[in-house]
Every structure is written in structure tokens, then in C-alpha cells.
Amino acid sequence: MSKTYFIRTYGCQMNEHDSERIAGLLETNGYVRAHDAETADLVLFNTCAIRENADKKLYGTLGQMKRMKDARPELRIAVGGCQVQKDKALVLEKAPWVDVAFGTFSVAELPRLLIEREETGVPAFEFAEQTETFPSALPARRDDPFHAWVSVSVGCDNACTFCIVPFVRGPQVSRRLGDVLDEVQRLADDGVVEVTLLGQNVNTYGRDLDGRPLFAELLRALDEIDGLRRVRFTSPHPHDFTPDVVDAMASSRVVCEHIHFPLQSGSDRVLKRMRRSYRSARYLEIWSSIRAAIPDIAASTDVIVGFPGETDEDFDETLRVVEEARFDSAYTFKYSIRPNTEAASMPDQVAPEIVSERYDRLVGLQERIALEKNREMVGRRVEVLVEGSSKKDVARVAARTRTNKIVHLAAGQLATGTFVDVLIGDAHPHHLDGVLV
Ligand code: SAM
Ligand code: SF4
């Protein structure tokens, strides 16, 4: 009988993408997906290292897995992803009951490691330091028939002082344009109508390929793919929304009217210490130029609260920029010390109670703005892509606008993956309610 697997994914979209490849690899090697960890023969954790609580959570979860394994010794446990790349052999020291450990550059080795574990009876691991096989070259087992993640680059050449990504994902390596386009065409032929291009710094795509082709050319080329209706991309860097990228977005048929536009802080003093290459005025200027070129474009952002040395005045600057930019949504994070990063050894780390107080004020401000922006949608007719049942109410479906807003609709006969027009009836901070027209 076939062995079964269950994957739990933590962290960002890049990890979701990698998990689809991991699932594809396992299925090519005869495994079948299990419904839950309790019944699976192999439980795999694809881990994240971006903040400390992700770290802590994993070791807690692995502790629970030990109890499961004591009851079911034939259970196999595998861990991969960013935290494994960071901790390497330490994972096996802290959790010696783990059977297989593999870093971010070693995804393709998983089937071999699983066999090695059975042959040797001891944990098998691989923590390579650079990409041998692009995860995108591996088979995928996609969660959605209508949407696909397409990785265009891995790694990051920036050195933001708070960020662990360059340590666990390495320098930027871009895929060849032809490979990306071939993959998207194959996906479109297979019924995929929306792709999300992924890169740690997605809009510097191609810079390591002798400087060409660049991100704007990639966006323009995607317009030519038959059957493709929507393109999104993440995570871009504000500084790399160059005029050619904005032009390519504005003239595109497929690129959606939504960007992620990570601010991190509104204080110039903090931005400098974060080693972000823009200042608040420049950031707002780039944002205005994008809005001028693409009316009705929506934006989400990332903000870190409590970066070392952040004063009340610095934080007020963040509130000012958030108020002025009027983001449609924001991912807000409390600063978390990451090993080996420059910010970890900066003096004057901010006290947790101050961070919490500032965090709550920022979230309150953003919720108000998000609701105001969503209310502007009431009474409008928009096209949405039906994504599946609403998590809150099975009698409703969740659908997404090109501007990345979730609309809840009465389920009726609506099939997942179809486009319909809806009239927006009501607004909430994180979603809209609509009716079919
Ligand atoms: N490449 C992306 C960029 O430049 O914005 C970000 C990648 S990271 C996966 C996503 C977000 O996590 C960052 O934008 C940042 O806001 C947040 N983040 C990264 N390191 C952090 C840290 N040490 N503490 C708190 N938040 C952090
Ligand atoms: Fe990290 Fe993004 Fe900065 Fe790269 S650009 S170091 S991934 S925050």
C-alpha cells in the first residue's frame, strides 16, 4: 500500500510554493496525500525563520510529534525550510527523533534522504549552501487548479539590517526568462488563470542575468500568454518600482491593480539604520507616481514596530506615512531579534511594553483606513475570481478582486476558479460583501 504524507507549511508564499514542489516530489515517488498528521506515515514541516516566535513554535510542535512517534514508531518526521537552513544540525540535536532534515537549497534531495533514513536507521540530512536545482524545476502538486505560484528568482542581494532572509536563502539567482514563460504557458494550458510571481526581491528579477532581461520585460512578455487572466507578484522592494516597471504594469492586460509596497518604517533615521535604500519622502513619491499611472491601484504594506532605537518621534513618523499613503491593508510586525543580523547587536532595543503599545496604535489606525478604503467600494461593480468556500461561513464563497480584496458572496452554483461580476454591498476592514449581478 502507498505511504501517505502530510505537510504543514509556515511562513511566506515562497514556502507555500516550495511545499507544492515537496508534495509533487513525494507523489512522484509513490506517496499519497493524507488528510491529517494523525494518520500520515510521513509528517513534514516546512519552516520559517523570519521572526523568533516561528522558531519557538517549531520546537514546541516537534515536542508534540515525539509523543505521536512514541505511540507510532513507524511514523517518519521530516523538517525543511528556512529555520532548518539557519539551525542545520542543531535541529537534530534538539529533536533527535526527527528522521530527515533538509535546508532551503536541498529540496530536490528529499526522496533520496527518505530512502537513506530507511537504509541506515539513523536520521538523514542535507544542508547545501547554494541552489543546485531550482525548486520550480521539480514537479508540483498544486493546491488550487486555477492559481499557481511561479518562482522567478530565489535569494536576495540586499542587506536590510533586521532580516535573516539573505542568510537562509542566499544571494539572488534568477531563472531564465524562457523557462519562466514556458512554465506559465504550460500552467495556462492546464487551466490556470492567475499566477503569482515569487522572488525575495521580485522586481530586481534578471539583474544577475547579465542585467537582462529585467522585470519590466518579464511583465510585458506575460501579456502574450494565452488563457492567462491575472498576474500578481511578491515581494517587491519600493526602490525597484522603476519607471519601466510602472509603465509595464500600467500598460499590461494581465498585471493586477494591486501591489505590495513594504514601508517597514516612516522614520528616515530608522530607515537608514534598517539599511532601506529609500527615505519617507521618496517612498511617498514613488507611491504617487504608481497611483498616477494606475488609477484605483490598491496597496498592502509591511511595517516593523520597535526596531532598535525607535523613539516616540520615529514612531509618529510611521503613523504619519501610513496615514498619508492610505494602504488597503498592512502586515504589522513587532521587531524580532534574528541571529547574525546587524540589528541584533544594536544597542537600545525597545522595551516590549512600548512595542506593544505602539503596535496596537498602528493596527488601530490601519483598521480605520482599511475600512474607509473598503467603503469606497460600496455600490461599485467589479469582476472577481471565485476561490472557494468562505472560511467563516460555508454557505458563502470567497472571491477576489483584481485589487486583491476578498468579497464574500452567497455560494449558489458558483464554481471555484470562475470569474463573475458582483455588486459590492457592504464593507468591513478585511473583506467586502457582494451580490452577483
Ligand atoms: N523581501 C521582502 C521585502 O523587502 O519587503 C520581505 C521579506 S520578509 C519574508 C516579510 C516581512 O517580514 C518584511 O517585509 C518585514 O516587514 C518582516 N520582517 C523581516 N524581518 C523581521 C524581523 N527581524 N522582525 C520583524 N519583522 C521582520
Ligand atoms: Fe530581507 Fe526583503 Fe531586505 Fe532582502 S529586501 S534583506 S528579503 S527585507
pLDDT tens figures, 65-99: 999 999 999 999 999 999 999 999 999 999 999 99
| Average pLDDT for 2-15 | 95
Q: Given this model, what pLDDT does residue 202 score? A: 97
- pLDDT grade, residue 137 (50/70/90)? confident
Residues at CB less than 6 angstroms from ligand 2: 156, 158-160, 163, 165-166, 200-201, 237
What distance in Å separates the CA atoms of residue 161 and residue 256, rounded to the nearest whole number? 31
H helices, E strands: number in the chain: 13, 19
Q: Given this model, what pLDDT does residue 413 score? A: 77
| Average pLDDT for 283-293 | 98
- pLDDT grade, residue 57 (50/70/90)? confident
Mean pLDDT of the chain: 95
Q: Which SS3 state, helix, strand or coil, does residue 369 take?
A: helix
Q: Are 321 and 283 contacting, i.e. CB atoms less than 8 angstroms apart?
A: yes
Q: Given this model, what pLDDT does residue 394 score? A: 79
Q: Which SS3 state, helix, strand or coil, does residue 405 take?
A: coil
Q: Would the pLDDT of 132 be above 80? A: no
Q: Are 114 and 78 contacting, i.e. CB atoms less than 8 angstroms apart?
A: yes
| Residue whose CB lies within 8 A of the most ligand 1 atoms, among 167, 329, 333, for a mutation test | 333
| Average pLDDT for 20-43 | 96
Q: Would the pLDDT of 406 be above 80? A: yes
Q: Are 371 and 430 contacting, i.e. CB atoms less than 8 angstroms apart?
A: no
197 CB under 6 A from ligand 1? no
Q: Given this model, what pLDDT does residue 62 score? A: 95
Identify whether 235 is preceded by a cis peptide bond (ω within 30 of 0). yes
Q: How far is CA 437 from the centre of its chain?
A: 32
Q: Which residues contact 130 (CB under 8 A, 6 or more apart)?
A: 105, 170
| Residue whose CB lies within 8 A of the most ligand 1 atoms, among 50, 240, 263, for a mutation test | 50
| Cα 319-424-303 angle, rounded to 5 deg | 20
Lowest mean pLDDT among 18-32, 358-372, 410-424: 410-424
Q: Given this model, what pLDDT does residue 44 score? A: 98
CA-to-CA dists, residue 405 to 2, 370, 371, 398, 402, angstroms: 40, 11, 12, 10, 7
Distance 335 CA to ligand 2 centre (A): 14
By C-alpha distance, which of 267, 256, 396, 273 is closest to 328?
256
Q: Would the pLDDT of 55 be above 90? A: no
Q: Given this model, what pLDDT does residue 412 score? A: 78
By C-alpha distance, which of 365, 364, 402 is closest to 385?
402
Look up the pTM and report it: 0.95
Q: Are 373 and 428 contacting, i.e. CB atoms less than 8 angstroms apart?
A: no
**Which tens digits make up the pLDDT trace of 202-259?**
999 999 998 677 999 999 999 999 999 999 999 999 999 999 999 999 999 999 999 9
Distance 235 CA to ligand 1 centre (A): 10
What distance in Å separates the CA atoms of residue 118 and residue 126, rounded to the nearest whole number? 16
| Sheet with 230-234, edge to edge strand ranges | 147-151, 194-198, 230-234
Distance 164 CA to ligand 2 centre (A): 8
Residue 135, C-alpha cell as written in the block: 525548486
Q: Given this model, what pLDDT does residue 163 score? A: 97
217 CB under 6 A from ligand 1? no
What distance in Å separates the CA atoms of residue 90 and residue 87, rounded to the nearest whole number? 5
Distance 231 CA to ligand 2 centre (A): 22
Q: Given this model, what pLDDT does residue 134 score? A: 79
pLDDT above 90 as % of the chain? 91
**Which tens digits make up the pLDDT trace of 333-361?**
999 999 999 999 999 999 999 999 999 99
333 CB under 6 A from ligand 1? yes
| Residue whose CB lies within 8 A of the most ligand 2 atoms, among 48, 85, 165, 172, for a mutation test | 165
